Structure formats: structure tokens, C-alpha cells
Structure 1
């Protein structure tokens, strides 16, 4: 396709390309600003597509650079998770304990739901639900619990659902966008969760709150839309952990090796960024699962939570892109690995690649669940239990088995931070162990979570700190210089990955100060 050469506003010859979509050009900055209202709706680097496997999804309409922002979207509806610790329904911050243990939270003067204070009573998020509950004479019974202040309250399950229902009157256009989203209600109806919803929540909404005009199935469909499409919004600095619907974001496909990542800005808008270069025509994707999990773990999680069977390239490959995360070593030949004969069928048998001995899926699943339970129950306050786990299972589990990888990743966090294992306290052996683990997992990330991913960024932060510590312990000037140069390169890559993460900027500034001081110390010592 020929690139445009005429200004989109005045048709004069132009060369200033719109940085976002690259589909139009302007002769001046002023004409670009003037044309924005007309161009805004078309200014994007993707288009909607559909197929039988993925349904509706987004596809790149041009080549996309690594780190490029793809989409920024405000939440259509926002609110507490199904079970939540006490949270303000106005600003959505987790509520702080009262000044005195005998005191209670501030309560809304109309409906008694806990809030931060009087100003949050007038929040547009809370007003409509407050009027409905007050009109029905419903009063919240949530109180401060000094014994378990973070105890999750199931009463919050009604709030997000009510906010969706109230859109039908307050914002019909928004309700239409919400209703157009996938629900998977048929698959969810017979689950224990939805049986509880039908028995308790529907009764509360229709009887206690008087919403008798709403058909039961329509309410349940809204609940299913939330479960299928909602994103968890975390803002640790603001004490927020809620969920929200972003209709545009919901169109982005899932892939176990995704090309996008997302974050949330100060206004709780969702922002999607390219983790790597994306070619024109490529499907845009994020991941709803953890990269170190095995295919069978990821697919079971996606089926339970999102009601679909993933068939991405990683899930379809019995070797998981040569990682073998779900495989165990063969007990008979000692050299082969068990792989599924059909990874897209959870009930399929598993076969050793060398001696062809076969195991049933139930046996594999049972062994996997037992190991997962074991690793989750380990004491993770120090490296000892995790290192012991790796040693005890060194024969049956190879180096990139999911349980081994989970233990190794936890160890990269513990070495340098656990009590008695701070960076200054690490022995040479433990320091080198941290470096080796970080480098091993970074190599793996090139296959399953490449580019500017948060997973890689966190590993690089740990590696950079360990390398600087290592450099400052070296007597050999040449080795020390090489390590510090490596740290400089790592910190630059970290800065690129984390430049859109405001909460990371202070840490990066501190790491730069430490590295600059180390470089200055080295230079002084050499002179």
C-alpha cells in the first residue's frame, strides 16, 4: 500500500506522519490538532477480525514497534471483586484500620456501606447503588474486624453486578457495549458457584432490593460476562485491588506466548503495550496464565476461569516449544521424557519419547497435583526448603519441569532479600547461585515471555543487583570492569521495560545511584 503524501486536512503536500496509526500525514502540527476530532476514531494500529477458533479478536494493521502503546481505555464499569477485604465503594481503596481498635469504619449515612469518609458518599460510583439500597431499607452489616482486618467479605459480590444492571437506565450505550461481550453462561450454569448465585444472590437482588422486573437469566448473564471479561485492576500504591470491564481490551485474544502486556494508569485506565515487534496481520494477544506453568496446568486454569480450551502454538506442541514444562523423566529408561500424545486432550495418554512406555492421564494429573501441593506448602521465608525440594526431585524432574521452574524463580527472589540472605550477607556460593538462576530463567523467557515483559524485567533487576555486588567483591580489575559494564547494559534494558511502570521509577533511580557509585569507586581504585 502506498504511503499517504497529502495533508489529511488541507491536502497540501505533507510528510509528518501520525505517530499512532501511521495511516495519515499532516503539513503541520496545527493541522494535526485541528483534524484530531475527525481522525480520533480511526487512529489505531489494529482492526477487528473473527474466526471460528478465537471468535472476535484484534489484528495488527501495520508493523508495531517493541514498547509501543497499542490501546488506552477507560473502564466501562468498575467495582469490588466477588469477595473482598473491606473497601471504600467511592474511591475503591482498601480501608485502613480505625485509629482505635474499638472504633468502626466510617459508614455511609444512607446505606451503611463502609467508606473512606463523607466525601466518598457523593462518588458517582456509589450514588446509584446507594439510592437503591436506601430505598429498599437495606443496611450493610460489614464492620471492622480487629482480629482479621483483611478478612474477605462475600457481601461485596452484589456491588459489581448492581453497577452493571444500573447501566441499563443510566447509560444505555454503555450497557449495550457490556451486553455485546461473551458470557459462556451455558458452561457456567451448572457450576457450584452459579448454583450459589441462583440460590442466594438472585433472591437478594429481586426480593430484598426489589428488582423483580429483571429476569433471572439476564442477571446471571451479566455475572457471566463479568467472570469472562473482567480484568483485575491492581494499584498497590493506592491500596486498590478491584475488577473492571474494558470492552476494547476484552477483544484482545489470549495466547500462552503473548505479544502484549497491560498495566493500569493513575485513573485506572488500562494500557496495552507491545512486548516485542509485532508484524502486520499478527493477532494481538495477552496471557491469562503464568508463563512457568505447564500446558496441562494452564489449560485447566483457562477452562475453569475463562471457559475456553486454549489451542495456541505452545499448548499444541507436546514439547511445549522444547521446554517440556509438564514432562517428567521416565523411570524405566532414565533418559526419556514423558510427553502427551495429544496435548489438546487432557484425557490423552503420555508416552516416553525414548522407550515408548505409556502412562494414563489420570496418573500424570495426580502426580502433578501432588507436586504442586507440595511446592505451595513449602516454607518460602528462606531458600532452604526450596533448595531441598530441588535436590529431592532432581532425578524424576528435569531442569525445566514446571515445579522446578517455580522453585527456581522463588529462589531468585529469596537470595538477596530473605532474612540472613541479604545481598551483603550472601556467601560467594549463594551469590553465584542467584546469578546462575536469573540467567537460566532469562534464557527460558526468550521462548515463553520474551521482549519487554514484566517477568523478564523482574529477573533483570535481580541479576543487575547481584552482578554489581559480585563486581565489588572482585580483586581483578579487568573482571570487575566487565561486570560493571554488563550491569550498565542490564540497567538500560530494565529502564526500557519498566519506563511505563511509575511504581518502579524510584527503584530504578536507586539502582542507578548504586551503580554510578560502584563505577566511580572502580575508576578511583584503578587511578
Structure 2
């Protein structure tokens, strides 16, 4: 059984639901868990677009729609009212529910009058609309959903509250999708918005490699997972949005099961601000408490006095970091927070241009490194752009040697950082390792072709690349085959097979090269 102990005669859950004043309800490991082990699987309660997407998504199956000027092809083939889906969605398991289609059919006249207006906004209300229909369709499930953390009172009167009232609730009322004159409707819809904002996960549309396009889904058990900026989970999802929760590192019985609600490549200030604004709590995990973020130095700047150490926040958990002093980890020099803020703003201003090529990005990186740690999140942003340019170079028949050397160094630095901020199994690390093996193999082959190294020296360098690729595949193969990472795993398996064949050939050649002239003659005569 999924998410249960295999050895038990009676299936036993690998987690327990606990409660504390600080965390609320959370999941605790009921047994020791190993990296890669499945803790549980579950399907979403509801899925919807994260933001307004005009003619980009099929709102039934959440697949990307091809560009097409004939908007009629995007109409729901069931209710033929608004541009919700196309004929390709008919057989999809997440096609509109009958009550959803019926609601649009019933309000056909109102929707057609507002068609031009709602095309760009229907995605914003779709997820909440599906919650509204769920409440009527499955009251027992709705009662479980409404028990999720919502922080409703903290949201009341805020910008988020007013935004949802204007752009979702009033929109649904004006389109007659919910009762207009019932005062209790607004409160219920605000609760649904709050539950969605606090508990939903960001998802990528099936088959999409475009990181800018996201959906969101609500999962019952997953909503109980606690946060840590250095979590112990690895989440995977197939094209039908079925979620699988794996242990990413060894988890001991009794440990809290948690994952990172934010990006591991954000600095402490950005992570804590995001959590404060969207999840309504102050993170005080081990990463946030450490001025130097467990040695990742992802928010630090070079000390202007000793030029060896780095300045970190003296009081990382404060809400006003630039009103406090920052301290060097080498000479203990203190610097006013407002000066740190000015320095960072100057560095940020250098990143505005998105049209830089590899050479310009490398120059920019050198400039930033005069002020920032090599792992600083602004430097990491430049490194990610650099990797995008190196990917274009590495696929060429004869990649530029300097670019491959730079790609090798950037991948190594990024991987070392990820080992700190996201230990264990990680999608980011899997992709980095895949990219790391490419310049290792390319540089080795180039050096051999130029006769800079012998076949004897080539083999171990190729074996190093194969070893790194295997580490990547160990993580990528946890991903469903219908995801971009799953496709990368398939490609990686093909590359590993070809690489192993090359290694065998190189070893055979090196053995032949080591034979004496007499031994070669004997071998030839024997053949």
C-alpha cells in the first residue's frame, strides 16, 4: 500500500498527524524513513490556474493550448459558452465536472454578453468557483477542507482581502455564478480564497518546460506538511497532478516531516518576507537563525575592512534587518544596515539588462564578486543565466573550450551551494549534475583529440562524467516519465549507455597502446 510500511502484516501509515500551538496540525514520521522512500501519494482536491492566463491553458485538463486566432476552438465542447477547453480535453480525467458545465450553460446569456471581458479573467476565479461547487457536491470533503489553516482574521482588511473581494468575489457575483444578495457568500468565498492562498501548491502545466506558467492545486494531506527552509522531502507529480511525497534525506522516527514553501536560492530576507506575506508566520528555522545561513553565505557581502570575511545579519530574525548592524565573520567588523542596503541596491541595478550574452554575463559576475559572496542570491541569478547560454554551446559539434571550463566551474559552485541549502534528493541538484557531466566529457574528448592526454588518461575522466550522470539519474528517475525531468532522465539513460560504450572502447585502445611492438605482432598473428 502506498505510504505504508511493507514489512507490517497490517498496513501502517508512515506518518502520524500531530498538533502543537506553534505548528498547528503537522505530520510526524511514524518510522525511520530512507532517502527516496515514498511516504504517501495523493490526488488534488481541486486544481486551477495560479494567475490570469489569456488563451494559454485548457482549464479542464490544464494543458497548454497552441496559439490560435479562432477563439471558438477554445470553447467548452460540453457547454459551448466560454473559452475553457477544446475537443482534446474530452477524454481527459480532469475534464470539467458536470456541475461546472451546467453552471456555465445555465448562465450562458450573461457569459456571452461579457465574453470579451471575462476571457482574461475567468482563470482568476476558476479555482474558487470549483471550491464553491465542491462545497455543494461533497459537503463532507468540504468540511475537511475548511478545517485547513486559513489565517482569515489576519487577512481581514488587508490588500489581499480587498483584492479577492474585487477581482474574484464581485466578479463571480456579477456573472451570476454565486448568489448576489446573500451576505454570507462573501465570507465563505473569502475563506476559500484564504485556504487556497495558504495551502495550495504551485504546479506546472503538463508537458510544459516554461517555468513562468503555473497552476495551483490543493492536497489534503500535503496541506499538513510543515515548513523548513531546509526540508526533508522531495515532491514529484505526474501529468494528472498525482503527488508523490518522498523522503529526501534520512528521517528518524518522531521527526517532523517538512518541506520548503519557498525557493532554496532566495536569501533569508526574501524567504521570510514571502512566508510572512503569503503564509502568515515568521520562520525561525536553522537557516534563518544563522547570520551566514549554515555556511551558504547566500545573503552576505564582502567585508570592506578585511576583504576576507563576509558580513551577515547580526540579528537575522528581526523584521527590520537594515536598521540593525551586520557583522563580519572574519574580523568582526560591524557595518550599518542602511549601508548594506545601499550596496545591494547598487548591485541589483546591474542586473536589469536581460539581453546580455555569455561574455557580458561573465564580466557582470566578476563585478558582483568584488562585493558579494560567490553564493549570494544575486550572483546565483547571474550564474543561472550563464548556464542557459552554456547549454546552447555544449550541444555544438565543437563547443568552445573556455565556455565549457566556465560551465564546469559554475555547475560545481552551484552544486556545492545546493548541497547546503537543499540536501539529499533534489530536482535542482539532479539537473545540475546532468549539466555538470556535459563539460567534463566534452573537455576530456577535446583534450584527447588535441593529443593533450592519452587514452589511458581519457578513460578516468570519462568515468568521472559517467559517475556524475549516474548520480543525476538516481534522482531524475524518481520523476514521472511524462514530466520534463522524466524526459531528461530518458535522455540521460541514452547518454550513459553511449558513454559506457565509449569508455569500454577507450580502455581497449589504451591496453593496445601499452603493448610492445612484439606483443602487437603476436596479437595480430593470433587473430
Q: How far apart, CA to CA, are the structure 2 residues paired with 1:470 and 1:24?
A: 48
Matched with 2:23 is: 54
Equivalent residue runs for 1:65-464 within 5 Å = 65-86=34-55, 87-98=57-68, 101=69, 104-108=72-76, 109-117=79-87, 120=90, 125-136=96-107, 137-139=109-111, 153-209=120-176, 210-211=178-179, 212-213=181-182, 214-237=184-207, 241-348=214-321, 349-353=324-328, 354-360=331-337, 362-365=338-341, 367-369=343-345, 371-372=347-348, 374-375=350-351, 377-379=353-355, 382-415=357-390, 417-418=391-392, 422=395, 424-464=397-437
Contact between 2:39 and 2:247, CA under 8 Å: does it hold in 1?
Answer: yes
1:376 offset after TM fit, Å?
A: 5.4
CA gap 1:164/1:63 in 2 versus in 1, 3 angstroms: same
Q: How far apart, CA to CA, are the structure 1 residues paired with 2:135 and 2:348?
A: 44
Which deviations, in whole Å up to 9, do the C-alpha atoms of 1:111-145 show, x marking residues without a partner?
A: 3233212864997534323322332333255679x
Extract unaligned runs of 5+ from structure 1: 1-17, 27-38, 145-150
1:222 offset after TM fit, Å?
A: 0.6
Which one of the candidate residues 1, 7, 14 is aligned to 1:45? 14
Which deviations, in whole Å up to 9, do the C-alpha atoms of 1:359-398 show, x marking residues without a partner?
A: 13x5534543553454353335x32232111111222112
Which deviations, in whole Å up to 9, do the C-alpha atoms of 1:288-343 show, x marking residues without a partner?
A: 22222211121112222322221110001111102221111122443342221211
Is structure 2 residue 499 aligned with structure 1 residue 515? yes
Which one of the candidate residues 452, 468, 476 is aligned to 1:498? 476
Which deviations, in whole Å up to 9, do the C-alpha atoms of 1:200-239 show, x marking residues without a partner?
A: 4322333431424343122111101101111122244278
Classify the secondary structure of the residue corresponding to 1:393: helix
Contact between 1:472 and 1:518, CA under 8 Å: does it hold in 2?
Answer: no
Classify the secondary structure of the residue corresponding to 1:159: helix
Classify the secondary structure of the residue corresponding to 2:18: strand
CA gap 1:316/1:485 in 2 versus in 1, 3 angstroms: same
Contact between 1:329 and 1:395, CA under 8 Å: does it hold in 2?
Answer: yes
Q: How far apart, CA to CA, are the structure 2 residues paired with 1:402 and 1:152?
A: 37
CA gap 1:371/1:125 in 2 versus in 1, 3 angstroms: farther
Matched with 1:487 is: 465
Q: CA RMSD in A?
A: 2.9
CA gap 1:302/1:103 in 2 versus in 1, 3 angstroms: closer
Contact between 1:64 and 1:278, CA under 8 Å: does it hold in 2?
Answer: yes
Classify the secondary structure of the residue corresponding to 2:215: strand
Extract unaligned runs of 5+ from structure 2: 513-527
Matched with 1:9 is: none
Contact between 2:292 and 2:312, CA under 8 Å: does it hold in 1?
Answer: yes
Q: TM-score, normalised by structure 1?
A: 0.84
Matched with 2:524 is: none
Aligned residues: 484
1:69 offset after TM fit, Å?
A: 1.0
Q: How far apart, CA to CA, are the structure 2 residues paired with 1:238 and 1:60?
A: 33
CA gap 1:370/1:477 in 2 versus in 1, 3 angstroms: same
Q: How far apart, CA to CA, are the structure 2 residues paired with 1:192 and 1:20?
A: 40
Q: How far apart, CA to CA, are the structure 2 residues paired with 1:520 and 1:198?
A: 66
Classify the secondary structure of the residue corresponding to 1:268: coil
